[in-house]
Structure 1
């Protein structure tokens, strides 16, 4: 678990960056298991900072992690969420995975999902990992990388 002192540094630097970016709202910083730090922001204008398919949010998280690497000597995993966007997206992806898997299991035909980021693909793969009737694999390159759900 990350130290309290480093958690204070993370909170201070996060709030400073968000202020400079014009992100106004409630900011919560929490330490999780295995040196994970989650930052949750609730703001009146979330879409501006989430961007298309979460791209702006991912970039904000990347910039913040870069800043914090110079200030915090401990290794840690950082997750930034705005108005529970990531949480909602993960629930959607899990449901998408289950629905696609049920369809593939019933029809015995592979199903190709839309392109996703590596983090999104990971959620889908993890959701389907325990299923004995289907398998999932990633295909394609770059922004066109997608998951194919196949019957076993």
Structure 2
């Protein structure tokens, strides 16, 4: 999965006076980037609250803005975490699918693609910490050996975390292959001033 959804096709708009619904939508499109991201988070939260009700699961919704994208997390107390983990699934597969559904729900209301990130029961935050440790270990080996190292295939979110950690450690990384076998390659090349942007994947 590449962490993005296909753009919704636009349909011809008839040459008529704007409706009340159209007027309502206009301020939303012209809002600031922060306002737009906050709106995405609110829409996602409403969608996820309905899903939790349907699934008869308890959880609180946290909304934030991180790295230029809306971030929504479903959290529970320690006793409720095992139940929420059903929304994570093996290796985060259910979470990835739920994130795509949530993005589609947001896109359906805003008309724009979204890069919203979803976490459930702290799965992504825990995974992020382990990926940073992995990236640092790989960077140390690559610096020592002078040879590139290829990591196992991983989803777009995980590749992004690794790319950022590698860049912070002073090396360059890139992605290769096709989904779902796309992987990060860490190169024995130091980041130089004026170099192009680091690989961000998605």
Shorter-chain TM band? 0.7 to 0.9
Higher strand content, 1 or 2: 1
Trace 1:2-151 onto structure 2 (pairs within 5 A): 2=35, 8-20=42-54, 22=55, 24-32=57-65, 34=68, 36-42=70-76, 43-72=81-110, 77-132=115-170, 134-151=171-188
Q: Report the RMSD for the aligned CA atoms in angstroms.
A: 2.6
Q: Secondary structure at the match of 1:148?
A: strand
What TM-score do you get using the length of structure 2 for normalisation?
Answer: 0.63
| 1:75-127 CA distance string (max 9 Å, x none) | 75422211100001111111110010001111222222110112211111111
CA contact (8 A) 1:35 1:77 kept: yes
Rg bigger for which structure? 2
Residues in 1 aligned to 2:122 and 2:57: alpha-carbon distance in whole angstroms: 15
Residues in 1 aligned to 2:40 and 2:183: alpha-carbon distance in whole angstroms: 37
| 1:6 to partner: Cα distance | 6.8
CA contact (8 A) 1:35 1:75 kept: no
Relative to structure 1, the CA distance from residue 37 to residue 110 in structure 2 (aligned partners, 3 Å threshold; closer, same or farther) is: closer
CA contact (8 A) 1:17 1:64 kept: no
| 1:23 to partner: Cα distance | 5.5
CA contact (8 A) 1:25 1:44 kept: no
CA contact (8 A) 2:84 2:121 kept: yes
Residues in 2 aligned to 1:54 and 1:5: alpha-carbon distance in whole angstroms: 26
Gaps of 5+ in 2: 1-33, 190-202
Higher helix content, 1 or 2: 1
Aligned residues: 150
Q: Secondary structure at the match of 1:44?
A: helix
Residues in 1 aligned to 2:40 and 2:143: alpha-carbon distance in whole angstroms: 48
